[in-house]
Structure 1
Amino acid sequence: MTALTLSTSSAATLRADAVVVGVAKGPKGPVVAPGGEAVDNAFDGKLATVLETLGASGGEGEVTKLPAAAGIKAPVVLAVGLGDLPADGDGFAEEALRRAAGVAARTLTGTKKAAFALPVPDAESVAAVGEGVVLGAYAFTAYRGTAGKSGKGAKNDKSAPLAEATILGAKPRDKASKAAVERAQAVAAEVNRARDLVNMPSNDLNPKAFAAHTQAAAKEFGLKVEVLDEKALLKGGFGGLMGVGQGSDNPPRLVRVAYTHPKAAKTLALVGKGITYDSGGISLKPAGHNETMKCDMAGAAAVLAAVVAVARLGLEVNVTGWLALAENMPSGNATRPGDVLRMYSGKTVEVLNTDAEGRLVLADALTRASEENPDAIVDVATLTGAMVLALGNRTFGVMANDDAFRTSLYEIAEEVGEQAWPMPLPADLRKSMDSPVADMANMGERMGGGLVAGLFLQEFVGEGITWAHLDIAGPAFHESAPYGYTPKGGTGSAVRTLVRLAERTAAGDLG
């Protein structure tokens, strides 16, 4: 992982392999952003002119590499676009800085050390740049042929992520800046943990292996962990988890991982869908829809990463994560369409479609989490294709049984740079899940399917408990070219939102 440091050295005199400066899109062409003055001076104040000659405009995501001018210790200058020049007196948005730093870090793959001379007028800007760097430098290399090898080839690996980034303009001894960069390092590291888990192939990450990874993380960061295996789940009456997992040779698990603080006044419960592979079960997915289904555990990955991040930050709040882990496979033992499952809550559910399995494992976990009477529950899941149709590939939906809590989560997501949108839970859609043989069915009206899934989950939340549901089906796995600090593959969606929720709760603002 990229190491972050702070320095007040000049961008021209610091020794590095490259120096990064920001460029904004001005009314008359590119404008060098604050922080890049020393580099601009080395170009006799004509850096913007040179960049414009090379075709740069300052647009967001734009990258221009050029040889450094005399007087700059780094051999390469990397100009990265920040987007439109802010109005007088306004600084650059944190998300603009985060994305620019991410683009630069990704462009500098194979580079050992880079100096980032971007606008950092305050601690929040420092944090944004730091997060962007670590997230943008991410690469999943565990299964590459040279991974783990040593020797000359490894030392000169041109595909290795940026090793060290120095953020210029922030004093290393300034408490706010130091805390900001430490937070950025911790949170980004846990987003990358979630990305690693999502990117891991299902033959190596089954429910048992995911539980083992959680146990290792718990040991490292002082968390309490409890794992219910298939025998305990069967004995405990977890019909949703067992019903989904019984078709696989890899049995299901329910994992409880908890962080507690001695001074905490509030408790959050986070519940994650952890389908380590989703074939659709007997309701088999059509060709072309199976190849990325290793990502169907992204909700559980986000929950684990968030709990660990809270522990690393030492927040004054109790956070319990529930990972509902199963593999959804077709076999002679698999649940069939038309079967009825008795859930942990005691309710019976007619399974009309075995590919609507995420809500079944989440239902059991939500009921179990409710038994501990937390102040709020948030579940995270790659739950429905309907949510992707509604909001696209970059935005997750937010539903809740409390309007203020839903609004708060939406605002938190926007604040940390995760695209989200509040969605309703229309009561009239509930009737579509009525079953002639059971308390309810796991499917309802096709139109508004993402909302129907939310209504299903709401049935299993304990009475009087504030609850929200994040459907991250769109942004959890990115199949196109990287952008900003977002890589191809697992994204770590919702981790930063959950961590900020925990921070707000620790501060006494649960929303």
Structure 2
Amino acid sequence: MTALTLSSSSAATLRADVVVIGIAKSGKPNGTPSVAPGAEAVEKAFGGKLGATLETLGASGGEGEVTKLPAPDGLKAPVVLAVGLGDAPADGASFSPESLRRAAGSAARALTGTAKAGFALPLTDGAESVAAVAEGALLGAYTFRAYRSKGKDKGKNGAKDSGAPLAEIAVLGAKSRDKQHKAAAERATVLAEEVARARDLINMPPNDLYPGTFAEQAKAAGKEFSVKVEVLDEKALAKGGYGGILGVGQGSQNPPRLVRLSYTHAKAAKTLALVGKGITYDSGGISLKPAGHNETMKCDMSGAAAVFSAVVAAARLGLKVNVTGWLALAENMPSGNATRPGDVLNMYNGTTVEVLNTDAEGRLVLADALTRACEESPDAVVDVATLTGAMVLALGNRIFGIMSNDEAFRAEIHETAEQAGEQAWQMPLPVELRKGMDSPVADIANMGERMGGGLVAGLFLKEFVSEGTPWAHLDIAGPAFNESGPFGYTPKGGTGSAVRTLVRLAERTADGALG
């Protein structure tokens, strides 16, 4: 993991390979970009002509734009990297935390293979700005190289690993002895490491990550961070009557698991339950996915990865809240033993479900886990899942949907996501769509009307939440796996979507800001 330090050194005197500065758009067509606060020493070294020099090189200050140039005399670092912050704030206001996160992430991605970089970005909002720069840079420095053969990413003459992530980040202008700055950096480190944990899990190939090995990873992390972990194997699931999880997993040679993670704090006043969909590979089952839709289905456990990482983060941060995490793990495969369209499953709460489409399997494993989570009477329940393609059609690839049985709680989750820097949108649960899931042979079917399919899935899950328990459903099908090019602090592949929102939710719950 990339190292993070806070440094009071000047951008001129820091010994590093690169100094990162921020620039913003001038607001005028073809205008000279403005140099953001924090880069005063660099501006001085360029004789006050840094903006004009960057304009000559084609820089505009647009968000995420990266421009490298040789450093002049007066700087210890040999290279200056200017990263675009987008439009300059009006009336002398500060750059938003998300602008800083994205800029720092873009810079860190551009510095792959670099040993040390000093980030001289604006810290005008004190600890909040320190947190944003640190978090964005650490998230942007992420790379997944576990399956790269040795030497494949070596540079010239094998002297330098050009594919290695940026090794050290120094946040310039931050004070290592300032309690708020130090706390901000420590939180950013934990958050980035846990997002990286989720990303690593999502990026692992399904021949290595299946329900059993996922459960083993949870047990190992639990031992390391004092999180209690309980694992129900296929025998325990059968004995307990978890028909949804068993029904989805019965077609695979890798049997399903239900994992319970528990972090408790002696002074906690509330308990938050998190439930994650963990389909380690989704072929669609008997309702096989068409060609071109299977290649990324290792990411269908992104919800469980987010829940796992969020519980561990809560433990590492010592939050004054009790958090339980439920990982509903199964591999959805076709075989002679697989669930068929038309089969009826007996769920954990006694509900019978007619399976009309075996590719609508996520809601089946979540239903059992939601019922089990509600048995412990938490103050609120949140489930996270790459649940429906319909949500991607509705909100695109960067925004997750929020549904809830409580409008106030739904709004709180949305606000929490915005605070965390994750894009989300509130979605309804129209009661008229429930009728489409009526079954002639069972209590409910796992499919309903095609139009509004993401909302139908939410209505199905709602059936398995205890009355009176605030519940929210996060459909992260769009942002969980980035198939296009990287941007900001978001890499290609697994993104760790919803981890930061869940951690922020746990923090707000601990602080008494929710409910």
Give the TM-score taking structure 2 as reference length. Answer: 0.98
Opposite residue 13 of structure 2, the aligned amino acid is T
Q: How does 1:48-447 map to 2 (within 5 A)?
A: 48-121=51-124, 122-146=126-150, 156-447=160-451
Rounded to whole Å, the distance in 2 between the matches of 1:154 and 1:365 is: 50
SS of match in other structure, 2:238: helix
SS of match in other structure, 2:33: strand
Rounded to whole Å, the distance in 2 between the matches of 1:116 and 1:388 is: 35
Opposite residue 139 of structure 2, the aligned amino acid is L
Offset of residue 148 of structure 1: 11
The more displaced of 312-321 and 154-163 is: 154-163
Offset of residue 92 of structure 1: 0.2
Identity of aligned residues (%): 77
The alignment status of 1:473 with 2:480, answered yes or no, reads: no
Offset of residue 146 of structure 1: 1.6
Rounded to whole Å, the distance in 2 between the matches of 1:263 and 1:218 is: 20
Rounded to whole Å, the distance in 1 between the matches of 2:154 and 2:25 is: 44
Opposite residue 8 of structure 2, the aligned amino acid is T
Counterpart residue number, 1:3: 3
Structure 1's unaligned 5+ residue stretches are none
Offset of residue 150 of structure 1: 11
SS of match in other structure, 1:125: helix
Rounded to whole Å, the distance in 1 between the matches of 2:495 and 2:150 is: 24
Rounded to whole Å, the distance in 1 between the matches of 2:398 and 2:382 is: 20
Confirm or deny: 8 A CA contact 1:283 1:337 kept in the other structure.
yes
Opposite residue 48 of structure 1, the aligned amino acid is G
Counterpart residue number, 2:34: 31
Rounded to whole Å, the distance in 1 between the matches of 2:474 and 2:514 is: 17
C-alpha distance 391-115 of structure 1, shift in aligned 2 (>3 A): same
Offset of residue 152 of structure 1: 11
Offset of residue 464 of structure 1: 1.1
Confirm or deny: 8 A CA contact 2:153 2:162 kept in the other structure.
no
Offset of residue 149 of structure 1: 11
Offset of residue 140 of structure 1: 0.3
Confirm or deny: 8 A CA contact 1:141 1:147 kept in the other structure.
no
Confirm or deny: 8 A CA contact 1:31 1:58 kept in the other structure.
yes
Confirm or deny: 8 A CA contact 1:391 1:474 kept in the other structure.
yes
Offset of residue 417 of structure 1: 1.2
Rounded to whole Å, the distance in 2 between the matches of 1:174 and 1:289 is: 50
Structure 2's unaligned 5+ residue stretches are none
SS of match in other structure, 2:345: strand
Rounded to whole Å, the distance in 1 between the matches of 2:406 and 2:365 is: 23
Opposite residue 120 of structure 1, the aligned amino acid is L
SS of match in other structure, 1:232: helix
Confirm or deny: 8 A CA contact 1:2 1:133 kept in the other structure.
no
Opposite residue 404 of structure 2, the aligned amino acid is A
Structure 1 runs of 4+ with >3 Å offset: 147-155
Q: Deviations 1:7-65 (Å, cap 9, x if unpaired)?
A: 11110110000000000111342011000000010000110010001010101010000
The alignment status of 1:463 with 2:461, answered yes or no, reads: no
